A and B are shown apart, each in its own frame.
Chain A
């Protein structure tokens, strides 16, 4: 049996798409040919590896499914639009020509297409020559210059006069002002100084008086305070002295009592001794 499966059969076997009879034949062939079997196993491994490539998760975006193109009228088709447009504009052109009247004219260098009646050509006025225009310009410029010159001179003279006048009046005013200012200032200074002296005197006098009364009051208060302090001190000293004297008195009394007690005890002891001896 010389059955040898071709590549298509091997692939179909790998994917289990062979019919039963052929499947068995290939299996027998692979058992006899370990090299081919190894190859099938290698493919199987490649398939296993590929199975690790997983699908990407994706969300279907909104796809606009418009109306069927069949329902579109034929005049909206792109290849109808342009000829229709041209035809429409030609109709409009011819209609306008019929209503208003078309005029075509051709002269060398120009073609004219117009609607309505032709305008009558305007009569041409004789044109001035270049020299005449130049002369006219020169004369007007010259007269204008003269006018400007005369008016400028007049203006200048008037301006000079007014300036001179103003200067004179201003200097006179300033002189008068200066004189009055110098006279007034001497008197004012004198009166001001005198007033200032008087004010100073008054101020000094008031100050001296005020300070004298203040000092007097202060000294009086001080003296009063001192005398009351002395009295108080004396009183306290007297009290202290009194207390000390009292204390001495007390001590003396106590000493007296103690001495008496001592004497009596001595006497009594001597008395008893004498009795015993007797």
Chain B
């Protein structure tokens, strides 16, 4: 994963966290700027829905603002923030299940005119064909992720895309490290089968890219 400026800033956000914990609004705002992309992408991969991801991100940071004063160990800020995000995701999931309504956007995300794709910024120099293939592959892989159970999906996203250690994931989810590894194990086994079923092979990925 290529590191961007916000990623680098995120790694050195210790001072910001300390200041934010002391009630510095500016530092809290900066933390939002630095971590927003990560939380949004975690939620997006979990729901495969832009609107829900935006909502979860917003709720996560509002909760962060309210509770950061109670954060005892600043070194655990990352797992603490992901705990909030996971809780928000689960809350949204419960709401969705109780509503049992399906948004039309869920059926084909990204294909309608008002989709988030207009909001996202991409490099203009990239080859359009390559971008299209990458986008198709991303959709396909996202669809594969959505076939995992929620528990497996949480763990896989946190490990593969957010780069958390198993210890941090265990802290975030408030379960043992072995449980996390077990979920990862079954998650990868399931993914292997899903990829086979969808005929995604080494060649397919090589061709796509």
- Chain A residues engaging chain B, CB cutoff 8 angstroms: 7-8, 10-12, 14-15, 17, 42-43, 45-61, 63, 65, 68-69
With contact pairs A57-B121, A63-B58 given, residues A52 and B188 touching in the complex (Cβ less than 8 Å): no
Do B141 and A53 touch (CB < 8 A)? yes
A selection of 14 A-B contacts at a CB cut-off of 8 Å is A7-B182, A8-B178, A12-B181, A14-B188, A45-B195, A47-B160, A49-B205, A53-B145, A54-B134, A55-B37, A57-B122, A59-B121, A60-B37, A63-B61
Q: Please report whether the interface of chain B is mostly helix, strand, loop or mixed according to DSSP.
A: helix
CB distance from B17 to the nearest CB of A (A): 15
Cβ-neighbour of B120 out of A47, A57, A65 (below 8 A):
A57
Do B185 and A50 touch (CB < 8 A)? no
CB distance from B138 to the nearest CB of A (A): 5
* Complex Cα gap A17–B184 (Å): 13
Given the complex, which residues of B lie within 8 Å of A7, measured CB to CB? Answer: 181-182, 185
* Complex Cα gap A45–B164 (Å): 20
* Complex Cα gap A42–B36 (Å): 33
B156 at the interface (CB under 8 A from A): yes
Given the complex, which residues of B lie within 8 Å of A49, measured CB to CB? Answer: 141, 191, 195, 200, 205
Do A12 and B121 touch (CB < 8 A)? no
CB distance from A86 to the nearest CB of B (A): 30
With contact pairs A8-B178, A11-B188, A63-B32 given, residues A55 and B161 touching in the complex (Cβ less than 8 Å): yes
Which residue in chain A gives the minimum CB-CB distance to B181? Answer: A8
Given the complex, which residues of A lie within 8 Å of B41, measured CB to CB? Answer: 55-56, 58
Do A11 and B32 touch (CB < 8 A)? no
Which of B177, B178, B181, B209 has the largest number of chain A CB atoms within 10 A? Answer: B181
Given the complex, which residues of A lie within 8 Å of B178, measured CB to CB? Answer: 8
Bitwise, B179-209 to A at CB < 8 A (1) or not (0) is 0011011001001100100001010010011
With contact pairs A57-B121, A58-B119, A63-B58 given, residues A43 and B65 touching in the complex (Cβ less than 8 Å): no
Which residue in chain B gives the minimum CB-CB distance to A10? Answer: B185
Which residue in chain A gives the minimum CB-CB distance to B45? Answer: A53
* Complex Cα gap A46–B166 (Å): 18
Cβ-neighbour of B192 out of A42, A55, A69 (below 8 A):
A42
Do A52 and B192 touch (CB < 8 A)? no
Which residue in chain A gives the minimum CB-CB distance to B7? Answer: A55
B149 at the interface (CB under 8 A from A): no
With contact pairs A7-B185, A59-B119 given, residues A65 and B28 touching in the complex (Cβ less than 8 Å): yes
Do B142 and A53 touch (CB < 8 A)? yes
Cβ-neighbour of A15 out of B61, B142, B159, B200 (below 8 A):
B159
8 cross-chain pairs, A with B, having the tightest CB-CB distances, nearest first: A60-B36, A8-B181, A53-B141, A7-B185, A11-B181, A57-B120, A46-B191, A65-B65
Which residue in chain B gives the minimum CB-CB distance to A42? Answer: B192
Given the complex, which residues of A lie within 8 Å of B25, measured CB to CB? Answer: 65
Which residue in chain A gives the minimum CB-CB distance to B122? Answer: A57
Do A50 and B28 touch (CB < 8 A)? no
With contact pairs A58-B120, A65-B65 given, residues A50 and B191 touching in the complex (Cβ less than 8 Å): yes
B40 at the interface (CB under 8 A from A): yes
Given the complex, which residues of B lie within 8 Å of A69, measured CB to CB? Answer: 66
Bitwise, B2-22 to A at CB < 8 A (1) or not (0) is 000000000000000000000
Do A61 and B120 touch (CB < 8 A)? no
Which positions 128-170 of chain B face chain A at CB distance < 8 Å? 134, 137-138, 141-142, 145, 156, 159-161, 165-166
Which residue in chain A gives the minimum CB-CB distance to B54? Answer: A61
CB distance from B99 to the nearest CB of A (A): 24
Which positions 93-138 of chain B face chain A at CB distance < 8 Å? 116, 119-122, 134, 137-138
* Complex Cα gap A105–B4 (Å): 81
Given the complex, which residues of B lie within 8 Å of A61, measured CB to CB? Answer: 54, 58
Do A8 and B182 touch (CB < 8 A)? yes
CB distance from A136 to the nearest CB of B (A): 73
Which residue in chain B gives the minimum CB-CB distance to A7? Answer: B185
Do B141 and A52 touch (CB < 8 A)? yes
Known: A7-B182, A11-B188, A17-B165. 16 other contacts (CB 8 A): A8-B178, A11-B184, A15-B159, A43-B188, A50-B161, A53-B138, A53-B161, A54-B134, A57-B120, A57-B121, A58-B41, A58-B116, A59-B119, A60-B32, A60-B33, A63-B61
